[in-house]
Amino acid sequence: MNGAQSLLRTLVDAGVEVCFSNPGTSEMHFVAALDSVPEMRGVLALFEGAVTGAADGYARIAGKPAATLLHLGPGLANGMANLHNARRAHTPVVNVVGDHATYHKQYDAPLESDIEGLARTLNGWYRESAKTAEVGADAADAVAASQDAPGRIATLVLPADVSWGEGGVAAAPVAPRAPKTVAASTIDAIAEVVRSGEPVAFLIGGKGCHEAGLLAVSRISAATGAKAFIETFPARLERGAGLPSIDRLGYLAEQAMYQLDGIKHLVLAGAKPPVSFFAYPGKPSELTPADAKVHVLAAIDEDIPAALEALASAVAADTEPVLQQANRPALPSGPLTPQNWVEVIGALLPEHAIIADESNTSGLLLPAATAGAPRHDHLTLTGGAIGYGIPVATGAAVAAPGRPVISLQADGSALYTISALWTQARENLDVTTVILNNRAYAILKMELQRVGAEGAGPRALELLDLSRPDLDFVKIAEGMGVPATRATTAEELAEQFERALREPGPHLIDAWVPPLF
Amino acid sequence: MNGAQSLLRTLVDAGVEVCFSNPGTSEMHFVAALDSVPEMRGVLALFEGAVTGAADGYARIAGKPAATLLHLGPGLANGMANLHNARRAHTPVVNVVGDHATYHKQYDAPLESDIEGLARTLNGWYRESAKTAEVGADAADAVAASQDAPGRIATLVLPADVSWGEGGVAAAPVAPRAPKTVAASTIDAIAEVVRSGEPVAFLIGGKGCHEAGLLAVSRISAATGAKAFIETFPARLERGAGLPSIDRLGYLAEQAMYQLDGIKHLVLAGAKPPVSFFAYPGKPSELTPADAKVHVLAAIDEDIPAALEALASAVAADTEPVLQQANRPALPSGPLTPQNWVEVIGALLPEHAIIADESNTSGLLLPAATAGAPRHDHLTLTGGAIGYGIPVATGAAVAAPGRPVISLQADGSALYTISALWTQARENLDVTTVILNNRAYAILKMELQRVGAEGAGPRALELLDLSRPDLDFVKIAEGMGVPATRATTAEELAEQFERALREPGPHLIDAWVPPLF
């Protein structure tokens, strides 16, 4: 057994069954080993940003990590932006980064670069496998490290000679660090706060956004009158009919400050104190009201659902959660608008759908339109690095073959990782991509005003315009093997969306929705 | 004048006239300032890999840096792979990376990441502008640093509040560090070597690959019988009829060892001792014959052409260089092959063309077919990070509006930065892209064998196959606003290539060339 084979065997034994891959020469023994460890599914992507984004989407849905296979420092670099998003989502990811043979590094060959320096910026787990006999143990440690609560990026560097060397030993799985239990005294103290009669709001993040946490929060709210919000960009929010419907805190600082206005206590469960996404001249960064006290019920590495349930037992023992009733918008008609396209999605969202949401400004009205749709998972852009949507949808579809994946994608960020469409076609994944094509960096046109950039003239606006030339996403998708259509009216969008859901495999709809602003 | 305005004014005064840009909210004041400093041309790209690759191509042709505008850590990360190539090319690049406002960084907002850690891996110049009043001076230092011999990546981080603050002061240009002069004793010592009668080979890199250096090398060879080679991946090789024709050292180790067989002295001028691109089991990394002595005529930060000319004066005072005669292949016919497509290019290459070459395996026969074509610049993949070709062609075309740019692009690496086609359309650049579409990672199929990866079966080969589904580059290009056609015969390629050269603006030809191997 060579090093690569021991690595793959160890990964599979630890439950890592998918490797999103963009290999090069230094990874050829890993590639060759796929035939001797057939339990590992290799999924090819044509750019590393698609690889790492897919690994993020996979783990958000599967609840366990995928591996990535990346080609030296430049391969890791190309995957960094979506690893940034995964880091912010606390997604477990196991990167395998091929490197030059150990004895070859001294020669500074063209692809040599500072892999460790790059990987360290992810603030996760890092190791270079130094010996073939240790690769298995290193891989077991990497899988465990990626799943240490709350989840993180583990990067294992695999030099080519360590990979091709004989003497590999598969290692048994290693247990990751479980979430810490919140102290009873913390539960008691916060129970006091919510019983105080003063205005309280909860801000829920991490695994608190899954069913158990939401049910507990809803009971607490119903029993005590406390407000509750979901963090602005949750990794995975379970929502829809039959679950409590809890609003997300707004992206715009003004909106968040309105939501939190008047509260005296902010209770955090898996979320951080809310701050403005960007700084704006003359406006505060911190969004918690100045006279409100912040309490931490559960930190991100603690057992958030258990803490919420314990608190619910303390303050809402006899209270039922308030569940969202089934309630869809009517199918709209007429030319597409920022309002009616979300109504189409809300009206037609299938059961058990997964929404990978990178709709940005076009999607501001989406949550209301889908609140009463059938139960679904809503994945959001946790780290703000655009180009996450199409890859994350791809990985989510690999993780959940039976579930329809809806990829809502702004035009301005679609080109970053567009080649993930090809992987969807190759793997015949049930992903329906809707491009919200407003032919502009609409969010930046808004932000140009919000940052008070006076004197912005035609040369500035030119840099935020995507209409010269127009991007034709129908042709781009077809060029990558994904059937595609264009919708300019709500009726067309509805008809095309239904058809896409009905037919197996990926589809893309280029929806010409005018800007909200 | 705010910080952003002082930055732009300083850049323009220092000769930096183009800023390849992919801005976000934190860069909005920089964008707004474009209207008050109209001498700066903002060129929008839809992905940062296109931004940084374009800056590399621009500087290789313009001989001076462009600026980039990147959005925080993830924007820099997306641009890193092509910055790696630029670093290997010793290309001067001035990165402007927008960051959160200084007072906002403490809140760890979603886009916060370790920008300095990322940038430091480039081993260039780095600074964060701390105060508005100092931005101008920082920018002047950055431009100078990027041009310190031999050229490097300078990264200036611009926090949003430093950018929007009032009190900016434009700074005067700062002189970069000039190339060092090679000592006369070194010239003398190497003159002794080449006069010794023992077999000598020169390996030429950096600015030695431009006209003056090539003429000097040719004279030395003609007078002394020394062999001469160009480094395997030169940043910019001037070649064609009327210039000396000097072969590049082969990419394959076997090829390079054959070229250097029997030499007793290797003289380096702007190149490093040759090493294998990757390591292979049981094969040496170093390609210099074991019994040959290595001599450094000029290091990369020294004046390479001057050193070569001084040596030529010493050993070849009365010898003329050997110049390549005009000599084109005949126009071939029949289905496209790895041989006849390069003959089409050689037969039709226009005067003063710039070739951005990422043809990889498909292009192995290109140099011979273009050696006697009209004089042209040949740009290569210096750092091995694929996805460089389309962006570099874009930047080269911005640098040289009057010159035809030929972008020779392998299919496997085309998707990395494909959106640079959109920038070519937007800027109406005279770029003719030829996709060498062999529907495979052909180089990896070759490498799978070369690394001795035994037991590679169908699951391994599947990961190197691009034909399921086929990429339709005609549709992809048209989707980005670039007119495109498909060629399957030499006649079609010739007709389409001529037409593309004749018509203004960008064109793409999807050439179905079967794999060489």
pLDDT (average), residues A405-431: 97
List the single residue in B107, B110, B468 with the smallest CB-CB distance to A383.
Answer: B110
What is the per-residue pLDDT for B116? Answer: 98
pLDDT (average), residues A81-87: 98
Tokens at residue B116, please? 């300095």
The reply to whether domains A3-164 and A340-511 share a CATH topology is yes
Per CB-CB distance under 8 Å, the chain B contacts of A26 are 278
* Contact present, A174 and A154 (Cβ < 8 Å): no
What is the per-residue pLDDT for A446? Answer: 80
List the single residue in B42, B459, B480 with the smallest CB-CB distance to A471.
Answer: B480
Closest-approach residue (CA) in chain A for B465: A44
* Contact present, B474 and B486 (Cβ < 8 Å): yes
Interatomic CA distance for residues B404 and A406, integer angstroms: 43
pLDDT (average), residues B259-283: 96
Closest-approach residue (CA) in chain A for B443: A25
pLDDT (average), residues B65-83: 98
Question: Is the model's pLDDT at B455 over the cut of 70?
Answer: no
Per CB-CB distance under 8 Å, the chain A contacts of B478 are 472, 475
pLDDT in tens, A346-386: 999 999 999 999 998 889 899 999 999 999 999 999 999 99
pLDDT (average), residues A211-229: 98
Query: Taking CB atoms and an 8 Å limit, are B472 and A479 in contact across chains?
Result: yes
Highest CATH level, class, for B340-511:
alpha beta
Residue B454 banded pLDDT, cuts 50, 70, 90: low
Query: Taking CB atoms and an 8 Å limit, are A233 and B110 in contact across chains?
Result: yes
CA distance A5 to chain B (A): 11
Tokens at residue A10, please? 């160890």
Query: Taking CB atoms and an 8 Å limit, are A74 and B382 in contact across chains?
Result: no
Per CB-CB distance under 8 Å, the chain A contacts of B464 are 23, 31
Question: Is the model's pLDDT at A456 over the cut of 80?
Answer: no
Per CB-CB distance under 8 Å, the chain A contacts of B285 are 101, 103-104, 107, 109
**What are residue A350's phi and psi, to 5 degrees?**
-75, 170
Q: Which of A1, A2, A17, A28 to mutate to test the interface with B (most CBs of B within 10 A)?
A: A28
State the DSSP H helix or E strand holding residue B157, giving kind and residue range, or none if neither.
strand B153-159
pTM > 0.95: yes
Closest-approach residue (CA) in chain A for B72: A385
pLDDT in tens, B125-183: 999 999 999 999 999 999 999 999 999 999 999 999 999 999 999 999 999 999 999 99
Query: Taking CB atoms and an 8 Å limit, are A109 and B416 in contact across chains?
Result: no
What is the per-residue pLDDT for A159? Answer: 98
Question: Is the model's pLDDT at B98 over the cut of 80?
Answer: yes
Query: Taking CB atoms and an 8 Å limit, are B46 and A80 in contact across chains?
Result: no
Question: Is the model's pLDDT at A75 over the cut of 80?
Answer: yes
Query: Taking CB atoms and an 8 Å limit, are B452 and A77 in contact across chains?
Result: no
Per CB-CB distance under 8 Å, the chain B contacts of A425 are 469
Per CB-CB distance under 8 Å, the chain B contacts of A104 are 275-276, 278-279, 285
Closest-approach residue (CA) in chain B for A384: B111
List the single residue in B104, B285, B459 with the smallest CB-CB distance to A42.
Answer: B459
Per CB-CB distance under 8 Å, the chain A contacts of B451 are 25, 28-29, 160, 164
Query: Taking CB atoms and an 8 Å limit, are B80 and A80 in contact across chains?
Result: yes
Residue A64 banded pLDDT, cuts 50, 70, 90: very high
Query: Taking CB atoms and an 8 Å limit, are B107 and A47 in contact across chains?
Result: no
Find tokens 């991007």 and name the residue. Answer: A471
Domain boundaries, chain A: 3-164, 184-315, 340-511
pLDDT in tens, B9-56: 999 999 999 999 999 999 999 999 999 999 999 999 999 999 999 999
Per CB-CB distance under 8 Å, the chain B contacts of A419 are 415-416, 418
What is the per-residue pLDDT for B405? Answer: 98
What is the per-residue pLDDT for A506? Answer: 98
* Radius of gyration of chain B from its Cα atoms, rounded to whole angstroms: 24
What is the per-residue pLDDT for A455? Answer: 63
Per CB-CB distance under 8 Å, the chain B contacts of A444 are 23-25, 28, 31
Query: Taking CB atoms and an 8 Å limit, are A35 and B275 in contact across chains?
Result: no
pLDDT in tens, A266-307: 999 999 999 999 999 989 999 999 999 999 999 999 999 999
Query: Taking CB atoms and an 8 Å limit, are B277 and A34 in contact across chains?
Result: no
Closest-approach residue (CA) in chain A for B474: A479
What is the per-residue pLDDT for B443? Answer: 79
Per CB-CB distance under 8 Å, the chain A contacts of B28 are 444, 447-448, 451, 453, 456
What is the per-residue pLDDT for A298? Answer: 98
3-state secondary structure (DSSP) of residue A242: coil
Q: What is the mean pLDDT of chain A?
A: 96
Q: Which of B80, B423, B464 to mutate to test the interface with A (most CBs of A within 10 A)?
A: B80
What is the per-residue pLDDT for A9? Answer: 98
List the single residue in B29, B111, B454 with the smallest CB-CB distance to A385.
Answer: B111
Report ipTM (2 d.p.): 0.97
Question: Is the model's pLDDT at A514 over the cut of 70?
Answer: yes
pLDDT in tens, B183-216: 999 999 999 999 999 999 999 999 999 999 999 9
Per CB-CB distance under 8 Å, the chain B contacts of A164 are 281, 451-453
Per CB-CB distance under 8 Å, the chain A contacts of B26 are 278
Query: Taking CB atoms and an 8 Å limit, are B469 and A32 in contact across chains?
Result: no
Interatomic CA distance for residues A231 and B340, integer angstroms: 59
Give CATH for domain A184-315: 3.40.50.1220
Query: Taking CB atoms and an 8 Å limit, are A25 and B453 in contact across chains?
Result: no
List the single residue in A24, A38, A107 with the smallest CB-CB distance to B459.
Answer: A38
CA B356 to the chain's CA centroid: 8
* Contact present, A500 and A507 (Cβ < 8 Å): yes
Task: Count residue pairs from A and B with Cβ separation < 8 A.
Answer: 327
What is the DSSP code string of A246-289?
Answer: -PBPPSSHHHHHHHHTT-SEEEEES-PPPB-SS--TTS-SB-S-
Query: Taking CB atoms and an 8 Å limit, are B78 and A415 in contact across chains?
Result: no
Tokens at residue B405, please? 């740019």
List the single residue in B121, B123, B469 with the smallest CB-CB distance to A425.
Answer: B469
Instruction: Tally Cβ neighbours within 10 Å of residue A311.
Output: 28
Per CB-CB distance under 8 Å, the chain B contacts of A109 are 275-278, 285, 384
Per CB-CB distance under 8 Å, the chain A contacts of B118 are 80, 117-118, 121
Query: Taking CB atoms and an 8 Å limit, are A475 and B475 in contact across chains?
Result: yes
Per CB-CB distance under 8 Å, the chain A contacts of B123 are 114
Residue A515 banded pLDDT, cuts 50, 70, 90: confident
Q: Is the dihedral of CA A119, A123, A128, A133 positive or negative?
A: negative
Q: With pLDDT > 70 as the criterion, what percentage of chain A qualifies?
A: 99
Q: Which fold has domain B3-164?
A: Rossmann fold (3.40.50)
All residues at 6 or more sequence positions from B32 whose CB lies less than 8 Å from its CB, including other chains: A448, A453, A454, A455, A456, A457, A460, B4
Q: Which of A8, A22, A27, A31 to mutate to test the interface with B (most CBs of B within 10 A)?
A: A31
Tokens at residue A330, please? 């009517």
CA distance B41 to chain A (A): 9
Q: What distances in angstroms separate CA A297 from CA A179, A217, A225, B350, one per listed residue?
A: 14, 12, 17, 70
CA B439 to the chain's CA centroid: 24
- Annotate A325-376 with three-state secondary structure: CCECCCCCCCECCCCHHHHHHHHHCCCCEEEEEECHHHHCCHHHHHCECCCE
CA distance B178 to chain A (A): 25
All residues at 6 or more sequence positions from B106 whose CB lies less than 8 Å from its CB, including other chains: none
Query: Taking CB atoms and an 8 Å limit, are B281 and A462 in contact across chains?
Result: no
What is the per-residue pLDDT for A464? Answer: 87
Closest-approach residue (CA) in chain A for B251: A110
List the single residue in A100, A447, A476 with the smallest CB-CB distance to B28.
Answer: A447
List the single residue in A46, A233, A455 with the smallest CB-CB distance to B415.
Answer: A46
What is the per-residue pLDDT for B400? Answer: 98
Q: What distances in angstroms separate CA A380 from CA A86, A235, A257, one per listed residue?
A: 11, 6, 21
